[in-house]
Structure 1
């Protein structure tokens, strides 16, 4: 999938999953969804040309290089007898449910230890990354929700107690990214390290007729417009108003 499709899918998934994470207020839901949208781009850090890799220049570029090296090394020592001969760099380590859960847990624990400023850094990274790809569609909504929370709570105190749902938003964004890549022609080995048909990096994908090519007509003219409609209808209060 293209970056904007990943981000918009993350936004929709965040809006739908927010009640399950115990979030009922509109501002919290918007911040949760915008964070999920931003982190739905993160697995592509394993590609040097991806938006996430270029987002903060040398900082995200350096993380991208480290992730690509780690993915190559992990693939070399874990590939099964029938896994393809490849570098194991793109769509491998960072495109797994294991990676998503680990990053979500690390986010929750890290922000709990780091306090409000750590929470703020993660939130801003997700919001700005989503805004960078989707612009005002998500950026303003997420920013409005964030400002509303700050005003209602009297400042940074709004960042207390959000570590768990912040971790959920990060993990959900990564999982949604994996599922999006799984319906493309290449598939996605998101169930690593389960051994499937002799492969530990088995590319999960639907039947041929349900797959589409990244960036081509089906994604541009069918998938993305449908997501745009859902991205509005799932916003708290919109469906009731309609």
Structure 2
């Protein structure tokens, strides 16, 4: 589900951006890209996940450490009715607690200077581009160039605009990280396996209770439902939620309606 997770992160990032004060294309695109990238991070607990393979042995080692930690945490905190499981995949990294914790860590590191901000943002961007394609890189670079050279306030230099950009990213990077990870958890809750993102809240004797849709609405990962319904819906939403896109569609529809009426 790597592509679906990244696309859902992109869509949620576009939808949430105005709520954190981001409205222009130059602000929204980097935020959505970072959210898309960090929507892949929970699957670091799977050796075959996109996030686990992006940097070869480096991310492979991180994945192994996360899997080990998750297994230990599962055994220490499982309830009397939790299933007999290794507790590695879809456990520790697939929780709201992990999303909030990593988001807060990213926010605190973002206060330490431009290099920390760039490292966190670049990680999300590379993850998104790894799954969705190089268009993500070009979109972010274009938005960055516009914010530096096209939207700088009169009397300011590109360096001033760049410094303002660092500060702006530092203000929202923690939100993008946490939001992306939680979006991943919600996506997994649509599948048959579900996702225990409410850990450690005990539910029916389980602290790792899998939240999921009613049985008839669940689908398997990489099934035809994901490929032919979920992905196309996310692609459409990912375009329509771009700043100004809906207005363009509405104007085109009105123009078409007028043309049809006249003919």
TM over 0.5: yes
Choose from 222, 225, 230 the match for 2:237.
230
Q: Give the equivalent residue in structure 2 for 1:129.
A: 127
Aligned to 2:36: 37
Uncovered stretches (5+) of structure 1, i.e. residues with no partner: none
Q: Which moved more, 1:14-23 or 1:51-60?
A: 51-60
Quote the residue 1:211 is aligned against.
218
Which of 190-199 and 152-161 deviates more?
152-161
- Contact 2:8-2:183 at 8 Å conserved across structures: yes
- Report Cα offsets for 1:55-108 as digits up to 9, x if no partner: 112221121111111101100100000000010000000000000000000000
Larger radius of gyration: 2
* CA–CA distance in structure 1, aligned partners of residues 15 and 54 of structure 2: 27
Aligned to 1:83: 82
SS in 1 for 2:89: coil
CA root-mean-square deviation: 1.2
Match of 2:167 in 1: 160
**8 Å CA contact retained: 1:127, 1:143:** no
Superposition deviation, residue 150 in structure 1: 3.7
Give the structure 2 partner of residue 140 of structure 1: 138
- Conservation of the 8 A alpha-carbon contact between 2:110 and 2:171: no
User: Would the aligned equivalents of 2:46 and 2:52 in 1 still touch at CA under 8 Å?
Assistant: yes
Instruction: State the number of aligned residues.
Output: 240
The aligned residue for residue 195 of structure 1 is 202
* Match of residue 252 from structure 2: none
Q: Distance in 2 between matches of 1:183 and 1:126?
A: 24
1:46 matched to which residue of 2? 45
Match of 2:176 among 157, 160, 169: 169
The Cα shift of 1:34 comes to 0.5
Aligned equivalents of 2:7, 2:240: Cα separation in 1: 13
Alpha-carbon distance, 1:160 to partner: 1.7
* Alignment partner, residue 253 of structure 2: none
Q: State yes or no: 1:220 paired with 2:227.
A: yes
Secondary structure of the corresponding residue to residue 82 of structure 2: coil
The structural deviation recorded for 1:141 is 1.9
Runs of 4 or more consecutive aligned structure 1 residues displaced over 6 Å after TM superposition = none
What residue number does 2:259 align with?
none
- Confirm or deny: 8 A CA contact 1:10 1:38 kept in the other structure: yes
- How far is 1:145 from its partner? 1.6
TM-score normalised by the chain length of structure 2: 0.88
Structure 1 position 111, deviation (Å): 1.9
- 2:147 & 2:67 partners in 1: Cα distance? 37
Report how far residue 149 of structure 1 moved: 2.8
CA distance in 2, matches of 1:147, 1:42: 27
